[in-house]
């Protein structure tokens, strides 16, 4: 999807506190930044900080070499605010750690609102890959 088409990802997006969402975001040009464990830990620290700030309740996450899957229960912010903070704070942290790529993240993100308990269990099982994953 081109940058000009990225607005299509936002069509129909609705942030509902208490709803469970699966969020996915990708590094710019799919650079495998998170092969380096230190870089992946920067992302994980921000996921945990989002919980402490009461932005969301993280249910599970998977940090892959070039993207992130994050299963959350949204709390006191919108999806856009949550993802903007995540990308901004991880970008700052990664630059401090020596990552010199500009930009760090691809524009936008994908979200999927989950509606049934079965969906949550299936998503948790599907994302329990062996790469820096786990319930928080």
121 and 114 Cβ atoms separated by less than 8 Å: no
Q: What does the alpha-carbon distance between residue 90 and residue 41 come to, in Å, rounded to a whole number? A: 10
pLDDT at 124: 58
pTM assigned to the model: 0.80
What are the angstrom distances between the C-alpha of 97 and each of 26, 36, 45, 128? Answer: 19, 11, 13, 27
pLDDT at 1: 47
Residue-level pLDDT, tens digit, the chain, 136 residues: 455 444 444 455 678 999 999 999 999 999 999 999 999 999 999 999 999 999 999 999 999 999 999 999 999 899 999 999 999 999 999 999 999 988 999 999 999 998 766 566 666 555 544 444 444 4
Domains annotated on the chain, with CATH: 18-112 (3.30.70.1290)
Structure tokens belonging to residue 99: 């990552």
């Amino acid at each position: 999807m081109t940058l000009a088409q990225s607005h299509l990802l936002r069509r129909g997006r609705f942030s509902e506190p208490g709803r469970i969402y699966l969020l996915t975001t990708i590094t710019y040009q799919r650079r495998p930044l998170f092969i380096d464990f230190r870089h992946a830990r920067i992302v994980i620290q921000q996921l945990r900080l989002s919980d402490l700030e009461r932005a969301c309740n993280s249910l599970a996450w998977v940090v892959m070499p070039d993207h992130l899957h994050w299963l959350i229960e949204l709390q006191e912010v919108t999806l856009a605010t949550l993802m903007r903070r995540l990308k901004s704070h991880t970008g700052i942290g990664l630059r401090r750690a020596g990552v010199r790529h500009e930009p760090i993240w691809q524009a936008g993100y994908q979200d999927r609102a989950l509606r049934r308990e079965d969906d949550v269990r299936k998503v948790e099982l599907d994302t329990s890959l062996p790469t820096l994953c786990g319930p928080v």
